[in-house]
Amino acid sequence: MDIFGRMRSGEPIRSTDTGFEKVEESYVRAARFVARLNTGYHTREETLEILRELTGSDIDDSVQVALPFYTDFGRNIRFGKGVFVNSGCTFLDQGGIEIGDDVMFGPNVSLVTSNHPLDPADRRAVVSTPIRICRNAWIGAGATILPGLTIGENSVVAAAAVVTRDVPPNTVVAGNPAREIKRIDVA
């Protein structure tokens, strides 16, 4: 398995690992796209075209991304249809980010798929696990979603919440750490 396969499977990755230079090349590639994306004015169509190149995936014309937008990797983000991403969002996607249809992100949301071991001797290693945001979820301004989590369908993450556990469908969470504050009745 190559280093990207190891990364996607959640294995610890170290800068001394064979193939790590390919990871570094991916960081540089993403940085170039992010600089291009966030420099000057771009129409919605131009923004989507740059994001399609960055992610290497087909992004539906219904997706809206307000700039600036930040990512460290880019190629592991998948957007559903009708997604809205407000300005200043950061998607650290080494572990993969899957965004369902009609998801909304407030400004300055952070999706962080990478973490480090607690053991100080191995802390420079990176362990990445995917984040999944299910259909019709709403992530409020300044919220942070930590690695390996799923935000359920129709759920709401309140502004500034720090999500450390999966959020069930039809649930509102708030706080740090985020906790359930309400269930959403869906007709």
Catalytic residues, by residue number, are 116
Residues 6+ apart with CB under 8 A from 145: 109, 110, 111, 112, 131, 133, 139, 151, 157, 163
Instruction: Using DSSP, state whether 162 is helix, strand or coil.
Output: strand
What is the C-alpha separation between 1 and 118, in angstroms, rounded? 25
Residues 30, 73: contact at Cβ < 8 Å? yes
